[in-house]
Structure 1
Amino acid sequence: MIKYILVFLFVSLLIQPLQAQELTSRRTQADRLFERAEYFKSLDLYLKLAEADKPQPSVIERVADCYRLMNNYEQAEEWYARAAAMKGVKPISIYYYAEVLLRDKKFEKAKEQYKRYFAGGPKDQLDFKLAACDSAVAWSSRVGNYKVTNEKKMNSIYGDWGVSYLNTDRLIYTSDRSTGDYKGDKGIYYRTGNEWLKLFKYDVAHNETEEIAFDNTGDINLSKDYHTGPMAVNATGDTAYITVTTRLSTGDLPDIKTPFDQHLYIRRLELIMATKAGNGKWGNFKRFPYNNVNAYSIGHAALSKNGQILYFTSDMPGGFGKTDIWYSEKTSDGKWGKPVNCGNTINTPADEAFPSIGGDGKLYFSSRGLPGMGGYDIFSAKGSGAIWSTPVNLKYPLNSTSDDFCFVSIDGRTGYLSSDRQGGQGSDDIYSFIYTGHDNPEKPIAAIKPPNTIPATNKAAVGVPAPGEGLANATPTISSGNVPTRLITLQGKIFESTSRQPIDSVTVLLKNAHGETIGGGMALKNQMFSFPVTSGQDYLVEARRVGYYPSTQRISTAGMDASGNKVVTVNLNLTIEHLEIGKTFIIRNIYYDLNRANIRPDAMVELDKLVAIMRENPTMRIELSSHTDSRGSDYYNMLLSYARAISAVAYLKRHGIAENRMVAIGYGETRLLNQCANGVPCSEEDHQFNRRTEIKVIGGTFTR
């Protein structure tokens, strides 16, 4: 479908031949066109080849592939069924056959083909697909939480999708409908046979649609030569973030050489920022500073409610899957900071894309890797930045067995989504929805875990405002129902450990005694964070920023008098230390059972923090060393400490940290921090001081 241009891409979004070659046969011509992703043109040739008495299985498979890639799933199912019955069919065609059967709601047949494809393969992946079939059956039989309606006045026989709000009366969306601006084959995208994607404005009150005009007087020209859209606009309506196919000249693009000796250009996506000019047109174009169309794509922009965080989709290095959701924070000088991955609570080894921030402050996004009904499913999560609650599948009827994406809402109850589900007018259609409240949409789905993913621990972020929205207003939500009295306040500032100067844009989190996040936000330079809490509880306050080692301080409100109108204020000035090559950080909370090297549950909390640091700083390389006290033989302690260091490194590796970023070393008792050497009488507390894990930074680039 059209949206693959924007996501799965991201690896060969638009491909054009560098040189024409003599076509020697119809099959060669068809394969060359297919190789250039010109499915619309190659399909006719493959269909003619399929008319032979005994066509090759590869020809039948290519016909099915073309139909699938052009979004004609009914025809794709018919041709994959034919291919699946032939000797010599490729296994991947069996998988695609199962996928279109699921999309076409033929669940038992889909299960058969999934079992056939995964026979002898990874059981977790088979279970994941079978669970999608079961979920689709179960959820489709329910009334659901929403009423979903096809917006026929906005949709056409073409692809229409990607709604965003210009204001309460006008919408923006993306479409490849015909505008009459081209003659002949000019302007045709040969993957689909339709025109390039363009942006349109829709007047809700008058049911009127018009194409959006751009000011093309600058050095960035958003002409109709390539795809344009989707587009997100800030709250004041004067700044837009537009996803476009790069307009760079072919000489500036990477190319690959194909088996047919063709040189193919690779056109990726980039994010363009624009402002509205006095003539009503969008202009003053600027490229998002982290675009890199020679290496990866960036698109699908979404802004936090306060405009301080920009979320987007990218396949840039350092992610967890094919495409992930990333974010960038606006700094005090108005520029966008270095992108940070949103973390593996929402990102998986598969595709995540199309983020949006609803009027309720939640993140809405689409995923292929989280448990769902098949294709892209829409999920919601609470939190901000890289700290998120467990995603909630919005289920049927917002989700279907097809691809469901681009969910937008200004109030959390009404809005629009895009889908290529059955019964629409075109390949992708726009649907409106309204919440009906038949069941609880906040209840997480008890479903099978995604394959090849490690579930995050202690990642729940309940009631966390978007960073920058004012920490003084951040109210912890206590799941037990014990509402804070607001008469005890934890407050303070964040300083750099060496210079003792205030630091800008620091994420501050309030956690309960179990390490669960219950409040938080971003503290700007010289801004004081403030959390209202209740008496008789233990809390953790954590400060973290990319390029710094996080700091955590524990505080107890036991015995504090918060009665009457008295306000109790607790000052907690935290310091965080900049990451630098050669600097060592000591962790004293990674404990092991006596004479054992396996990671205990209480140690996982500390190692999870280290995982987060490594993800926030993707160039960081560390030496992870373990140290013992002096009791036991020197040789035994050396072996034990090394085994413990190896165990910690293995834990980080299981959580997605590349092995080449870590070195495990055991120092045994060779680096004691006090006088407690062999034969020296010491207290248990003194011996415990030597039992530690150290993290030494041995590589990386870190910004301040």
Structure 2
Amino acid sequence: MKKIIQITIVLLFSSLTILGQTKETKKADTHFENLSYSLAAEEYEKLAESDATEHVLQRLGDSHYFNVEMKTALEAYTRLFQNFPTQEPEYIFRYAQSLRATGNFKESDKWMKKFHQVKKNDSRGIHFTNHEATLNELINGDPGYTVTNLRSINTVNSDFGVTDYGNTILFSSPREGSVFVKRNHTRNNKNFLDIYKVIKEKITTNEGDDSEERPMFTSDVNSKYHESSVTFSPDRKTMYFTRNNYNKGVYRNDKKGYNNLKIYKSVWVYNEWVNVEEVPFNSNEYSTGHPSVSKDGKKLYFASDMPGGIGETDIYVVDINDDGSFGTPQNLGSEVNTEGREMFPFISKDDVLYFSSDGHFGIGALDVFATKKDKGVYTKPVNLKAPVNSKLDDFAFSINPVTKTGYLSSNREGGVGDDDIYGVVELEKPEVIAKPPCMQTVTGIVKDKKFQKPLPGAKLVLKDANGNVVTETFADANATFTFTLPCNNNYTVMATKQYYQPDTASFASSEEEKIELDLDFALDIISDFNYNERDELVIKIKPIYFDYDKSNIRPDAAAELDIVVAIMKQYPSLEIRGSSHTDARGKASYNERLSERRAKSTVAYIISKGINSSRIVDKGYGETRLTNGCVDNDNHTNRVKCTKEEHQANRRTEFVITKM
């Protein structure tokens, strides 16, 4: 692919081999750094015959690679890796791509895996080693389009980049003899690109037919340098196109002496395109190009190697305001852009974004992909497969979603010239009645472990075999839950509920679609709580004891009451009852009053620590709830002789949960 955007792309790589320059390589290096790759390749070939240094082989491979001469690039890179096995990751990537472009897919995959190993975070290696589609599916799968070479408009040069324009199409070509072509493009010894138009009805598939293509514009637009990639506003009164950094007779270079590309804008006034000016987000220091305007005219998509991007060239979008001004360009992000080349964006009338990339998994060097925004996020790009994509470069794809017709540019084998224009027709997709996927219903219930009572509102978190959360749900009013899951997968589900310890179960779904797999969870209470001898849920603390016939808070009791305070602060919806008890000695009526004083004493202490009084009540039970057999009624007719320790066990206060 000999497209003009590559003029600036290759500058990114020049630093890899600059240290290898010598007096002997100066002539070849000068051609290379002036982007004259055909001339550079000739000189490096001569040098490689007598002294095949690492620098010479790198530059020889790059000269062919940047000129998309992949067979000769592969030969040079093969010699490079045979003689100098340790290379920068970018050379491993180019070697893998050269292998792929010449049909050596198996060997290419091996080298792409090596690239991924040495540059694990590079998305190109990730895409090429972890991909859903197989190469066989991309090459031999059911095609989505037919592709036909429009031979009557193709030349031995580079013809590409079609724009639909009424009953004509516009395209870029370096045709000889044009009054607007003033010099040759030294990168490949071909003329500079201009924009041409041709009536659609005159285009044929026969090489040599005269389709009467003509230059589209006057010299105001078609300059003596490159012009390509035209797009229009919906009313056809504003045009955007790509050109070298050349305007009003001034040719500008960046700080390194390179002439970059810019997007220019022109308006239609009195049947003429006038007022050519560059867009404000251009720069002398980087390139912008390949503009495409959205259906509503409010967004302009383009490619650029501006600083801050993800890869060599990225795709951006910028708002076109009602007054004709522009917003700030936004990078489309890592779902679209990779560390490689993303270029030639085309936004269709149904808002599908088509673009070419060598960083996403594909068949050849540049493949065409499609993506669309879903809820504000671009979907994973889809490879358009063969025959749209080939082993070499496929780019400048466009399609009319209504007529299902469009265009493609490619330097694939069997073409007329360097790059050819192809007609594209989208095929009707046959209606396929797909068999419903195998699904299995999984049901269960969540209960309290001790009493087996249902626990409505318990949370269920389902994870797959890799620990990724699949879904979350809550048990219904009956404490039951249901999952409907694909068959033949392993899952883990965890049940949780406040105040309870979580429980986990693992299971595998099967192909028996109608069988329901029951999962029952029995949740145990968390360690902050336990059950007393009457199966009441209480806060778990050490017993709070009182001295005989006393209701004051002892130091050991205060420490335990502080734990109660902490738990109530941790669970702000918790409500409790402070229940105090006495031993059986003394009158029952007195013991009841004593227990009430003790209950009030503990509750007052807790309230004094900041707990709202509405969350706690007191209750004195006297000697009615003994923990042991140390009974003694008022008449002493049933007295049981007990130790001091046994009597003290009955003088206690506990905190019963009344509301959770």
TM-score of the superposition, structure 1-length normalised? 0.54
Contact 2:354 2:369 in 1 (8 A): yes
Contact 1:80 1:97 in 2 (8 A): yes
Listed one character per residue, the Cα deviations across residues 30-73 of structure 1 (whole Å, up to 9, x for unaligned) are: 12221222212222222222232x53343233222212222221
Change (3 A) 1:349 1:60: closer
Aligned residue in 2 for 1:333: 323
Change (3 A) 1:132 1:422: farther
Aligned residue in 2 for 1:504: none
Change (3 A) 1:12 1:282: farther
The alignment's C-alpha RMSD in Å is 4.0
- C-alpha separation between the residues in 2 aligned to 1:55 and 1:350? 28
Aligned residue in 2 for 1:153: 152
Determine what percentage of the aligned residue pairs are the same residue. 30
Contact 1:313 1:326 in 2 (8 A): yes
- C-alpha separation between the residues in 1 aligned to 2:319 and 2:156? 39
Alignment partner of 1:175 out of 169, 173, 176: 173
Q: Once the 2 structures are TM-superposed, how far is the Cα of residue 309 of structure 1 from its aligned partner? A: 1.9
Matching of residues 444-463 of structure 1 within 5 Å? none
Change (3 A) 1:234 1:77: same
1:316 aligns with 2:306: yes
Q: Secondary structure in 2 aligned to 1:366?
A: strand
Aligned residue in 1 for 2:63: 66
- C-alpha separation between the residues in 1 aligned to 2:395 and 2:111? 26
Structure 1 unpaired stretches of 5+:
16-22, 256-263, 444-513, 515-592, 595-630, 637-677, 685-704
- C-alpha separation between the residues in 2 aligned to 1:13 and 1:231? 26
Alignment partner of 2:109 out of 108, 111, 122: 111
Q: Once the 2 structures are TM-superposed, how far is the Cα of residue 100 of structure 1 from its aligned partner? A: 1.0
Aligned residue in 2 for 1:223: 223
Amino acid at match of 2:5: L
Aligned residue in 2 for 1:612: none
Listed one character per residue, the Cα deviations across residues 363-415 of structure 1 (whole Å, up to 9, x for unaligned) are: 22223333333433222233399643443322222122322221112225210
Q: Once the 2 structures are TM-superposed, how far is the Cα of residue 210 of structure 1 from its aligned partner? A: 1.0
Aligned residue in 2 for 1:401: 391
Aligned residue in 2 for 1:699: none
Amino acid at match of 1:81: T
Alignment partner of 2:187 out of 187, 191, 206: 191
Aligned residue in 1 for 2:279: 288
Alignment partner of 1:213 out of 193, 211, 217: 217
Change (3 A) 1:48 1:352: closer
Alignment partner of 2:36 out of 28, 35, 38: 38
Aligned residue in 1 for 2:365: 375
TM-score of the superposition, structure 2-length normalised? 0.58
Q: Once the 2 structures are TM-superposed, how far is the Cα of residue 14 of structure 1 from its aligned partner? A: 14
Contact 2:180 2:219 in 1 (8 A): no
Q: Secondary structure in 1 aligned to 2:151?
A: coil
Change (3 A) 1:136 1:49: same
Amino acid at match of 1:254: D
Aligned residue in 2 for 1:521: none
**Structure with bigger gyration radius:** 2
Q: Once the 2 structures are TM-superposed, how far is the Cα of residue 179 of structure 1 from its aligned partner? A: 3.0
Aligned residues: 432
Change (3 A) 1:93 1:338: closer
Change (3 A) 1:102 1:14: closer
Q: Secondary structure in 2 aligned to 1:301?
A: strand
Contact 2:180 2:222 in 1 (8 A): no
- C-alpha separation between the residues in 2 aligned to 1:355 and 1:632? 62
Q: Secondary structure in 2 aligned to 1:205?
A: helix
Alignment partner of 1:275 out of 267, 280, 283: 267
Contact 1:158 1:426 in 2 (8 A): yes
Q: Secondary structure in 2 aligned to 1:114?
A: helix
Q: Once the 2 structures are TM-superposed, how far is the Cα of residue 95 of structure 1 from its aligned partner? A: 3.4
- C-alpha separation between the residues in 2 aligned to 1:195 and 1:325? 27
Aligned residue in 1 for 2:418: 427
Listed one character per residue, the Cα deviations across residues 491-545 of structure 1 (whole Å, up to 9, x for unaligned) are: xxxxxxxxxxxxxxxxxxxxxxx9xxxxxxxxxxxxxxxxxxxxxxxxxxxxxxx
Change (3 A) 1:12 1:276: farther
- C-alpha separation between the residues in 2 aligned to 1:320 and 1:632? 51
Contact 2:163 2:170 in 1 (8 A): yes
Contact 2:245 2:251 in 1 (8 A): no
1:410 aligns with 2:400: yes
- C-alpha separation between the residues in 2 aligned to 1:347 and 1:121? 17
- C-alpha separation between the residues in 2 aligned to 1:265 and 1:440? 57
Contact 1:132 1:372 in 2 (8 A): no
Amino acid at match of 1:312: F
Change (3 A) 1:281 1:75: farther
Q: Once the 2 structures are TM-superposed, how far is the Cα of residue 12 of structure 1 from its aligned partner? A: 4.1
Aligned residue in 2 for 1:79: 76
- C-alpha separation between the residues in 1 aligned to 2:152 and 2:38? 27
- C-alpha separation between the residues in 1 aligned to 2:316 and 2:69? 32
Change (3 A) 1:632 1:181: farther
- C-alpha separation between the residues in 2 aligned to 1:360 and 1:136? 28
Aligned residue in 2 for 1:483: none
Q: Once the 2 structures are TM-superposed, how far is the Cα of residue 142 of structure 1 from its aligned partner? A: 2.2
- C-alpha separation between the residues in 1 aligned to 2:383 and 2:410? 16
1:237 aligns with 2:236: yes
Q: Secondary structure in 2 aligned to 1:62?
A: helix
- C-alpha separation between the residues in 1 aligned to 2:32 and 2:177? 27
Change (3 A) 1:315 1:157: same
- C-alpha separation between the residues in 1 aligned to 2:231 and 2:321? 20
